[in-house]
Chains A and B, each alone.
Chain A
Amino acid sequence: MAKKNTARTSTKKSTSKKSTSKKSTRKKSSRAGSPVSKERDAATIDKIQTLGTKLVKSSLSRIEPRVDIPLRTSSNTSYNTRKRLLEMGDAKQQRSLFNLGMSRKFMQTVLLANGCRRLIGEGKTLSLRGMYYMSKHDVKGTKESTFNDQGESDPILEDLEVTLNSLREELHVFAKKRGTMVGNITIVDNGDEIDCRRMGTGGYAIPSICEPSVIQFKKCEADFVLHVEKDTVWSRFNEDRFWEEHNCILTEGSGQPPRGVRRLLHRLNKELGLPIYCLLDCDPWGHYIYSVIKQGSINLAFESQRMAVPDAKFMGIRASDYETCELSDDVKISLNDRDITRAKQIAAYPWFESKKPWQKEIKQMLRNGFKMEVESLITKDISYVTETYVPERLAAEDFLD
């Protein structure tokens, strides 16, 4: 405890010490507003202009203008066993102007490319929704809108990312905040020092962009990171001051973790060398969340390199816990048909296929015929999960890889 106290005061000190000098830099950086470095901004603008020039050239030389967009499908995704993450293949989709089905999307792609160029040029960032509004207007001379809803602009923006091979952050676009963090770490977020030990009940909201230029780790004493599925479970852990007792960082991703959370986990793992343990539901969705954290997702396979945590471990809930923890029948939620098909799909993914413990785990879940939520451990005791379940697992180092 004493150790912890000193840690806390030292952080305070450092904050007050640097606060004066930081102020000036913060102002600067906020004025610049770029989530990435100037060099990367310049490179991105260059990429956009190259694409534009290519389209102009083909237009002027009477060739059908088209954009080659790498495919974001499972067929174009492969598992790299050496790197232990998902990678995007080379297959590309051609989006051309003079194809009735693609015409509108082509126009939208060009519009958004121009929008990103403007954003970068002005050094500002916008949310996905902001992007949608920025590019939305009536097509000249008609009542047709360039974008009818955000659902139209979001996938186009992802297309643009892969086409330009630039990240969303590099295009100065961010998503809604999701995910929370608390624990023995102090970070600097856009110049503001944040002590994650003193976040009250709400925790630190993990931003959409967690690039080193925005967030720097200042001081970390934690030994590991515990990632839980939902904020409800997270609140339980936070209320019980689990992170304090076990000296860790507690994160949560509101279900499928967004890019920001994954990027942060990746950096905590890579930069600070913290092991990542995941406490997720015992159902196919929980398994897939683990898979995404570990290997990356199919849709964002091009970003696995910077987001996946191949060393992440799966702590639970395990299918066998029903017996080992002597849980009551109240925890059972029977599997429906969709769950079963999804579970079989997951078992067949190459990155699960070769792992015997996982095959066993999924098989047992299917054999059980029910799924279990982390919250269900409350049936044992309100704090069973924080006081017994997780500590026991940590002590036994009983994880699925």
Chain B
Amino acid sequence: MTTTLSPAKDPMAKTTSKAGSTRSRSRNRATAESMASKQREISVSEFFAKNRHLLGFDNKRKAMLTTVKEAVDNALDACEEAGILPDLFIGVLQISETRFKITIRDNGPGIVRAQIDNIFGKLLYGSKFHRMKMSRGQQGIGISAAGMYGLMTTGKPLLIISKTSKRKPAHEVVLKIDTRKNKPEIVSDQEHPEDDVLFPDGHGTQVIIELEGRYQKGKQSIDEYLEQTAIANPHARITYVNPNNETIEFPRAVDELPEEPIEIKPHPKGIELGTLIQMLERTEASQVGAFLQNDFCRVGPGKAKDICGKAGITNRTWIKNIGHGEAEKIYNAIQEVKLTGPPTNCLVPIGSRALLAGLLKEVKAEFFAASTRPPAVYRGNPFQIEVAIAYGGAMAGDESARVLRFANRVPLLYQQSACSSFKAVTETSWKNYNLQQPRGGVPTGPLVILVHMASVWVPFTSESKEAIADYDEIRKEMKLGLKECGRKLGTYLRRRKRMKREAERRSVFERYIGEIAQSLSDITGEEPSPIYDALLEQARQRTEEADHQLDEDGNVIDDGGRLAADEDVIIIDNAVSVENGDDDADTPTGDLLFEDASPPAPAPTKKRVTTRKRVTKKKVRRKKTTTRRS
């Protein structure tokens, strides 16, 4: 897998020689021949070694984050594909001031010995590039690039231990990447027949990379990345040991794996001419009709005929007879023909409920809302947007909202302002939802906004996968999702405001009642206490709305119709909204979402699933009653 980049140098060579001829003949100038001897192929590895910022290894701090990120992405992808609930260990060990040893261990299916070399020792090697399937990794650059970075900065090779099953031995491979040849170079290779300490499940992979880095907590840190990963992947359990030797556990909130995404073929409208020509060169079909039907989705015999007809050829035209001109005609014909959008069953969103569970365990807020948009299409690629917000609670109220961005469940930490999701947030008018928002900015308040894009191909602005490209279709969907959540939050905030007002009213009334009772008693000679009690009772009655929030420990406020009759029932389609009144209540966990006011007993896994079902039924029932009421 190498790409020739040398042609780019040709024009340069020409201009140099021309300039040389005009200026001075006395100096020894290079000739076309002498230059030709220096012109040679550049390996991808070499190219990326020089241009490592393209892959997210700009500086020491970011390099460390990228390394963890690539390894975690791979581990989660592997676990999910194999149907294993991910259990990850990430250890960052500080060896010297700028040198770190990063260990990432998963309980995935493991890697067979033969593939270890290529996966870790070769850039652009992997299973994900050639397919149209939703996954975290896309190009197959990540982990090997991380290994390369480590090798370049410390000279230390990668250490990989992998075990595929209980009966098979674990392999321990130490390898380097030959950057010039883009090939792995094995340093040592050992077998460990009995190694159950690392992999209690009997399978898994561990990678150790030593690199130059810098560790710093806070924004864009490994800690933040893992926290957000835990939000978007509530089915994963992550254990993290940071350089200060503190262990941080991100517990599992959902015991179900996300559905396995289906691989799809490219949609004709989503490709460019060059891609079409490449596909024509590689196809196994021999005739155009078959090519169109087999290599694309949404093209049947009828549509294939239509395209061929418009392009001035037939179904039966041989592929080998298609030249550049014909290819262009086919390309234009595809643009004219009406085609169904790509199938969307290939998308697996996190799901509103799982998203909320993830947020609930990592963000200490009092209001959560989520919305999953229906699938949509950009440039022939299906995608789906999910939005969630968390409000209030222990978060600081005077700061800008935090925007958490995800693409295929991977947190995006850099280049926030270049990202489509960020633009969608700033373009949404949050003032409508009782929030403050500076002009053209992110709203202010105790707010976390989460935007997730699931797609078979996420359009990143660069190879380091930091920001989602700003397609109108994508931004539109994001804005719709944000508005949906915003409306729910607005309703909640309005209601909360009213509760507060009622509580204030009551306190005012109660404050004065004592004075009034005493004075009236003085004037009339009646006993003050019965007057006091009677007035207090009235005050309570008149402000009884305030009780609904004071009631119990902050569950969904429902007072049997009075509030519902107003405006305030949050209609639950596929989102669940939870309101927590008190912060001093126990830290909410994912379970809380599915339990209904009953004491949250630490139920074993199986039970939890049943509880969830029960609640689902209840939600439906509540929805029905709501409609009846209105």
Q: Please report A residues at the B interface, Cβ cutoff 8 Å.
A: 48-49, 51-53, 55-56, 59-60, 62, 64-65, 97-98, 100, 103-104, 106-107, 110-111, 113-114, 117-118, 139-142, 144, 146
- Please tell me if the beta carbons of A114 and B522 are within 8 angstroms of each other in the complex: yes
Assess the B512–A107 pair: CB atoms within 8 A. Answer: yes
Residues in A neighbouring B139, C-beta threshold 8 A = none
B535 within 8 A of A: yes
Q: Check B565 for interface membership: any CB of A closer than 8 A.
A: no
CB neighbours of B530 from chain A (8 A): 60
Q: Which of A104, A111, A117, A146 contacts B508 (CB 8 A)?
A: A104
The distance in angstroms between the C-alpha atoms of A141 and B535, with both chains bound, is: 17
CB pair A48–B515 under 8 Å, yes or no, is no
Question: Please, which residue of chain B has its CB at the minimum distance from the CB of A112?
Answer: B519
Residue of chain A at shortest CB distance from B505: A100
Known contacts A110-B519, A111-B519; A97/B535 CB under 8 A: yes
Cβ of B539: which chain A residues have Cβ within 8 Å of it?
98
Q: Residues 508-535 of chain B: 1 if any A CB is under 8 Å from the residue's CB, otherwise 0?
A: 1101111110011011101000110011
Q: Pick the contact of B512: A48, A52, A64, A106 (CB < 8 A).
A: A106
Q: Is the CB of A59 within 8 A of B505?
A: no
B interface SS class: helix
Smallest CB–CB gap between B200 and chain A, Å?
Answer: 61
Tell me whether B573 is interfacial, beta carbon within 8 Å.
Answer: no
Partner pick for A55 among B511, B514, B520, B522, CB 8 A cutoff: B520
Nearest chain A residue, comparing its CB with the CB of B527:
A56
Q: How far is the CA of A146 from the CA of B524 in the complex (A)?
A: 21
Q: Is A62's CB under 8 angstroms from B537's CB?
A: yes
Binding site for A on B (CB under 8 A): 504-505, 508-509, 511-516, 519-520, 522-524, 526, 530-531, 534-535, 537-539, 542
A97 in contact with B531 (CB, 8 Å): no
Question: Top 4 closest A-B pairs, CB basis?
Answer: A52-B523, A107-B512, A114-B519, A52-B524
Q: How far is the CA of A114 from the CA of B524 in the complex (A)?
A: 10
Q: Quick check: B523 and A100 within 8 Å, CB to CB? A: no
Contact A52 B514 (CB under 8 A): no
| Residue contact B524 to A100, C-beta cutoff 8 Å | no
Bound CA–CA A100/B539 (angstroms): 11
Say which residue of A48, A65, A104, A146 sits within 8 Å of B523 (CB atoms): A48
- Residue in contact with B515 in the complex, picked from A52, A56, A59, A111, CB distance below 8 Å: A111
Interface centre among B515, B523, B542 (most CB of A within 10 A): B523
Tell me the nearest residue of chain A to B507, going by C-beta. A142
- Distance in angstroms between the alpha carbons of A98 and B537 in the assembled complex: 12
Nearest-neighbor residue (CB-CB) of B543 within chain A: A98
Other 16 A-B pairs with CB < 8 A, given A100-B505, A142-B511:
A52-B524, A55-B520, A56-B526, A59-B531, A59-B534, A59-B535, A62-B538, A65-B516, A98-B539, A100-B508, A103-B512, A104-B512, A118-B522, A139-B511, A140-B514, A140-B515
Known contacts A49-B524, A104-B508, A65 near B515 by CB under 8 Å? no
A98→B519 contact, CB < 8 A = no
Min Cβ gap A37→B in Å is 22
Decide if B509 touches A114 in the complex (CB within 8 Å).
no
Q: Chain A residues near B535 (CB, 8 Å)?
A: 59, 65, 97
What is the CA–CA distance of A53 and B534 in the complex, to the nearest angstrom? 15
User: Which residues of B lie under 8 Å from residue A118 when comparing CB positions?
Assistant: 522
User: In the bound complex, how far is the Cα of B523 from the Cα of A118, in angstroms?
Assistant: 9
CB-defined contacts of A104 to chain B, threshold 8 Å: 508, 512
Decide if B542 touches A113 in the complex (CB within 8 Å).
no
User: CB distance B520 to A98 under 8 Å?
Assistant: no
13 contacts between A and B (CB under 8 A): A51-B523, A52-B523, A56-B520, A62-B537, A98-B542, A100-B508, A104-B508, A106-B512, A110-B515, A111-B519, A114-B522, A140-B514, A146-B515
Residues of A within 8 A of B526 (CB): 56
CB < 8 Å neighbour of B509 from A48, A52, A59, A97: A97
* A142→B513 CA distance, assembly (Å): 13
Per the bound structure, the CA–CA distance linking A100 and B519 in Å amounts to 20
Contacts of A140 in B (CB 8 A): 514-515
Which B residues are CB-close (under 8 A) to A141?
Answer: 511, 514
B516 lies within 8 A of A110 (CB): yes
CB distance from B396 to the nearest CB of A (A): 29
Select the residue from A59, A104, A113 with max chain B CB neighbours within 10 A: A59
The answer to whether A53 and B524 touch (CB under 8 A), given A64-B538, A97-B509, A97-B535, is: yes
Q: Which residues of A contact B516 (CB under 8 A)?
A: 65, 97, 106-107, 110
Q: Note all chain B residues with C-beta closer than 8 A to A110.
A: 515-516, 519-520, 523
Give A31 to B530 CA distance when docked, in angstroms. Answer: 38
Which chain B residue lies CB-closest to A114? B519
Q: How far is the CA of A98 from the CA of B539 in the complex (A)?
A: 7
- B515, A107: Cβ atoms closer than 8 Å: yes
Q: Among A49, A55, A106, A117, which residue has the most Cβ atoms of chain B within 10 A?
A: A55
The residue of chain A having its C-beta at the shortest distance from the C-beta of B513 within the complex is: A97
> Measured between C-beta atoms, what is the minimum distance from A132 to chain B in Å?
16
CB distance from A63 to the nearest CB of B (A): 8
The answer to whether B519 touches A56 (Cβ under 8 A) is: no
Please, how many angstroms separate the alpha-carbon atoms of A186 and B67 in the complex?
A: 107
Q: Which of B505, B509, B534 contacts A62 (CB 8 A)?
A: B534
Known: A62-B534, A62-B538, A98-B538. A117 touches B523 (CB 8 A): yes
| Contacting residues, chain B, for A49 (C-beta < 8 A) | 523-524
Most buried by A among B514, B519, B535: B519
The chain A residue with its CB closest to the CB of B530 is A60
Given contacts A49-B523, A52-B523, A55-B520, contact A98 B534 (CB under 8 A): no
Q: Whole-angstrom distance between the alpha carbons of A117 and B522 in the complex?
A: 9
Chain A hits for B514, CB < 8 A: 139-141
Beyond A60-B530, A60-B534, whether A139 also contacts B520 by CB under 8 A is no
Contact assessment for B524 and A144 in the assembled complex, using a CB-CB cutoff below 8 Å: no
Cα distance A144–B514 when bound, in Å? 13
Residue from the list A56, A98, A106, A144 in contact with B531, Cβ < 8 A: A56
Closest to A48 in B: B523
Bound-state CA distance A110–B513 (Å) is 11
User: In angstroms, how far is the closest chain A Cβ from the Cβ of B514?
Assistant: 5
Q: Give every chain B residue within 8 A of A62 (Cβ-Cβ).
A: 534, 537-538
Check A56/B524 contact, CB under 8 A, given A97-B535, A100-B505. yes
Contacts of B519 in A (CB 8 A): 110-111, 113-114
Given A59-B534, A62-B534, A62-B537, A97-B512 contact (CB < 8 Å): yes
State how many angstroms separate the Cβ of B397 from the closest Cβ of chain A. 25
Shortest beta-carbon distance from B598 to chain A in Å: 37
A362, chain B: closest CB distance, angstroms: 48
Looking at the assembled complex, report how far the CB atom of A400 sits from the nearest CB atom of chain B, in whole angstroms. 48
CB distance from A148 to the nearest CB of B (A): 14
Given known A48-B523, A60-B531, A110-B520, contact A103–B509 (CB-CB < 8 A): yes
CA distance A110 to B535 in the complex (A): 14
List the A side residues contacting B508 at CB < 8 Å.
100, 103-104
Q: Which of B509, B515, B522 contacts A98 (CB 8 A)?
A: B509
- When distances are taken between beta carbons in the complex, the residues of chain B under 8 Å from A59 are 520, 531, 534-535, 538
Q: Which residues of A contact B520 (CB under 8 A)?
A: 52, 55-56, 59, 110, 114
Report Cα–Cα, A98/B513, bound state, in Å. Answer: 10
Contacts of A139 in B (CB 8 A): 511-512, 514-515
Instruction: Give Cα distance in the complex from A110 to B523, angstroms.
Output: 9
* Neighbouring A residues of B538 by C-beta, 8 Å: 59, 62, 64, 98
Question: Could you say which residues of chain A place their CB within 8 Å of the CB of B524?
Answer: 49, 52-53, 56
Centre residue among A51, A104, A110, A113 by max chain B CB count within 10 A? A110
Closest-by-CB residue of B relative to A51 is B523
Residues of B within 8 A of A65 (CB): 516, 535
A140 to B532, CA, bound (A): 13
* Beta-carbon contact of B523 and A114 below 8 Å: yes
Determine the chain B residues whose CB is within 8 A of the CB of A51 once the complex forms: 523
CA distance A141 to B539 in the complex (A): 18
In the assembly, what is the distance between CA of A51 and CA of B530, in Å?
Answer: 18
Which residue in chain A gives the minimum CB-CB distance to B508?
A103
- Give the residues in chain B near A106, CB-CB below 8 Å: 512, 516
| B513 contact set on A, CB distance < 8 A | 97
